[in-house]
Amino acid sequence: MSGTVAAQKKKFYFPGWTYHKRNAVILGVSGGLWSSMDSARKTTSIGLKLEAPGVGLLAAFVPSSPVSETDSAFQVFKKKVVSEKVYGLSVSLTGTACNCTVNGVSVGGIAQIQGRVNGISFSPISFTEVHNGIQLSIFSQTYKMNGIQIGFMNKSSRTRGIQLGLWNRNEKRSLPILNWNFSD
């Protein structure tokens, strides 16, 4: 018996396909109805990801924050398989909820729950485990924020950057208008 595991072959689609397909690399436009927090489809979209209607309306009513609050909870999150990777623009009519990594711009109409964003995200309500870049939202929460959070209420457990909003909270302090942390 061999100690190696055969890797799943990736199948390429151009100019578009559905991101619901497992082990797919979509060059161009990927589309679908909604994403999932528990799915491990290992799909990559390069270009434009369109999600309609999305699950953003439901994500806006989560009973408690889906973002890790402790280092041990964050370690559990890091062990999860990334469901989707997006390189480019990710747009959802109501918003998305997935363990996704977006490298580029992420836009959600109501609420978003995402694993990682490297770039810019915009949604009225935004929950992200790790955000590197600019997060624009009415209410935003991250576990790790590297960059700028702009909104009415901003919260981050680990911050390297600036928070601008009516109320801002990070691991060092809670302040109105402007908050910051640049140390580890």
**pLDDT tens digits, 53-109:** 888 888 878 888 999 999 999 999 999 989 999 999 999 999 999 999 999 999 999
Is the pLDDT score of 29 beyond 50?
yes
Listing DSSP states for the chain in one string gives --S--PPPPPEEESSEEETTSTTEEEEEEEEES---SS----EEEEEEEEESS-SHHHHTT-SS--S--SHHHHHHHHHSPP-EEEEEEEEESS--EEEEEEEEEEEESSEEEEEEEEEEEE-SEEEEEEEEEEEE-SEEEEEEEEEEEESSEEEEEEEEEEEEEEEEE-SS-EEEEEEEE---
Residue 107 is assigned to a structural domain of this protein: yes
Residue 88 is assigned to a structural domain of this protein: yes
Residue 81 is assigned to a structural domain of this protein: yes
Structural domain boundaries enclosing 15: 11-155
Residue 170 is assigned to a structural domain of this protein: no
Residue 96 is assigned to a structural domain of this protein: yes
Residue 2 is assigned to a structural domain of this protein: no
Residue 59 is assigned to a structural domain of this protein: yes
Residue 162 is assigned to a structural domain of this protein: no
Average pLDDT, stretch 121-134? 97
For the chain, the domain total comes to 1
